[in-house]
Amino acid sequence: MCGKRMAYVYKAKVKKNGSHYQCIWGKVARPHGNSGVVHAKFKSNLPPRSMGAKVRVFISLTCNSESFADASGIRNL
């Protein structure tokens, strides 16, 4: 599970790329306990309202450049 990409998707006030939804990308750093909780590192710091919120974990994405070509539609959330 370590190294998998994850996204915190939120609704913004200002439209960007024609959508109010934006995301902050991150990676799973390491597990924390036995119940599925993980430590994660995001590209930019998460806002305080994200504490306790859900994030989307993309199981199928890897660090290969071939996989990012398939996931190009996901980045425009």
Distance set, CA 45 to CA 24, 60, 72, 73 (Å): 9, 24, 23, 23
Q: Give the type of residue at 68.
A: F
Domain locations in the chain as residue ranges: 5-76
Enumerate residues 6+ apart whose C-beta is below 8 A from 34. Answer: none
What is the pLDDT at residue 5?
A: 92
Radius of gyration, alpha carbons of the chain = 13
CATH architecture observed for domain 5-76: Beta Barrel (2.40)
What is the pLDDT at residue 17?
A: 87
pTM, two decimals, is: 0.67
What is the pLDDT at residue 62?
A: 54
List, for the chain, all residue ranges whose pLDDT scores fall below the cut of 70. 61-77
What is the pLDDT at residue 1?
A: 72
